[in-house]
């Protein structure tokens, strides 16, 4: 009989390999013309405006580094700062239409499944979707 924890580890490694072997970071960076790290910031902000501190936390970077990232993205016209509605000491950062378009372009590339996944039958994909949804709760 299989050890459930060993099977779980095997499945996790297979999932990790599938994702890591099909990363599209370079493809995104080449397509949008900026680093994937900067693109990641824009994609986060495209979902909702954030304070600098929220963005730094979301990206797992120090606040001073977030300032450097936002300064650069603002100079390129991808984001803008505006006053925070409830905290006069803080600024919110939001995407511009140019930044929103970049986020959508990056998301389209990142959302393209690898060929092996696309080759699964609709029933297999649905089963996989249901299992992953249960596992991610």
pLDDT at residue 20, rounded to an integer? 84
pLDDT of residue 1: 57
- The phi-psi region of residue 77 (left if phi > 0; otherwise alpha if psi is between -120 and 50; otherwise beta) is left
CATH of 25-135, one of 1.10.10.10, 3.40.640.10, 3.40.430.10, 1.20.120.1730: 1.10.10.10
Q: Are 80 and 100 in contact (CB under 8 A)?
A: no
Looking at residue 3, what is its pLDDT? 85
d(CA 6, CA 98): 47
In the chain (137 residues long), the average pLDDT of successive 10-residue segments reads 84 89 89 95 97 94 95 98 90 96 96 91 95 88
Q: Domain segments of the chain: what residues?
A: 25-135
| Per-residue pLDDT tens digits for 15-35 | 998 888 888 899 999 999 999
> Is 31 buried (19+), middle (13-18) or exposed (0-12) by CB count in 10 A?
middle
pLDDT of amino acid 63: 92
Q: What element of type H or E holds 79?
A: strand 79-83
């Amino acid at each position: 009989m299989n050890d459930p924890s060993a099977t779980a580890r095997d499945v996790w490694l297979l999932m990790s390999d599938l994702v890591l072997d099909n990363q599209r970071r370079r493809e995104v960076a080449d397509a949008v013309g900026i680093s994937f790290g900067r693109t990641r910031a824009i994609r986060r902000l495209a979902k909702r405006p954030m304070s600098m501190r929220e963005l730094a936390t979301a990206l797992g970077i120090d606040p001073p580094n977030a300032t450097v990232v936002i300064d650069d993205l603002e100079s390129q016209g991808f984001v803008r700062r505006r006053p925070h509605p409830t905290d006069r000491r803080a600024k919110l950062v939001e995407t511009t239409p140019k930044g929103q378009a970049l986020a959508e372009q990056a998301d389209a590339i990142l959302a393209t499944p690898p060929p092996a996944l696309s080759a699964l039958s609709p029933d297999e994909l649905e089963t996989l979707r249901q299992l992953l949804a249960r596992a991610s709760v």
